[in-house]
Amino acid sequence: MKETNMNITIDFFQGDLIQAIGAGIYEISVHKNGKSDVLYIGESVFILARCASHLYQLKKKPDYFGFDKHTIRDSSITIKFELLKKVDKDKDRKKIEKDLIKKKKPLSQSGISDYQKSVEDKISSLTNFLNSSLTNE
């Protein structure tokens, strides 16, 4: 399988990787034309490694977060990784993650626990956001 050419911009913890070392809750958001939305919320005992894994998956299969062969090449799109909160206790991380998913309704997640949507639904959700960023609504 051939890797995808990505032209989107990646903002990986604003270049400050130290903050992503350790356990906590993180958010991946998508930005275009001054608009943004949450793509994914996760928790990990080692955020930096987990988010690097997300990037690897995105490069390998853009539909992992709802991109297609065209949107993954759109240089006006930025994907931003950021630490929301440092949390050491596993049980606390999982509860906070689920609460944030319910509240923020990430584009690639179903809202049921931390489950992902189907590939078709992820692509549809991201495409709807990207199309809405083209208007001044």
Query: Which pLDDT does position 134 carry in this prediction?
Result: 82
pLDDT band at 135 (very low <50, low <70, confident <90, very high): confident
State pTM to two decimals.
0.92
State the residue for tokens 């930005």.
31
137 has a pLDDT exceeding 50: no
pLDDT at 1 over 70: no
Write down the domain spans for the chain.
9-124
CA distances from 86 to 31, 32, 36, 96 (A): 24, 28, 23, 11
For range 3-7, the mean pLDDT: 80
Give the H or E element holding residue 13: none
Which CATH superfamily includes the segment(s) 9-124?
GIY-YIG endonuclease (3.40.1440.10)
Q: Give dist(CA 62, CA 58) in Å, integer.
A: 5
